[in-house]
Amino acid sequence: MTKPPRAAIVFYDEDTQEFKVCNVQRSKVQPLIERATVMPVPLDDHDATITDEDARRLGGMVMLMQGHTNPELRDRFRITTERPMNWESPQRPE
């Protein structure tokens, strides 16, 4: 029996000051996914193994995304990025 597709949801719990991850059936959150801004994270090589570096890159991106909506986290980050972080929201074209 094939398991239904799943989605991992990552969020920051302000009360406990913890990152939390949950795994849900994708069908339960599909309407939200369809309205969300999705950031593809391509792997370096489709046939290659998924490495520590891939995991670090994905984890760092997820944490920085939480820092965008939780400014109190920003000073705690000690993450090296290609360019300095710009926490301002991008200007939308009119």
Position 41 scores a pLDDT of 80
- Residue 15 covered by a domain: yes
Range of the domain at 4: 1-38
Is residue 93 in a domain?
no
CA 68/CA 60 separation, integer angstroms = 12
Answer yes or no: do 63 and 80 share one domain. yes
| Residue 94 belongs to some domain of the structure | no
Mean pLDDT in each 10-residue stretch from start to end of the chain (94 residues)?
91 95 96 90 76 88 92 93 86 71
The reported pLDDT for the residue numbered 73 is: 94
Is the separation of the CB atoms in 4 and 27 below 8 Å? yes
Residue 59 lies in a domain: yes
Looking at residue 37, what is its pLDDT? 85
Tell me what pLDDT residue 4 has: 93
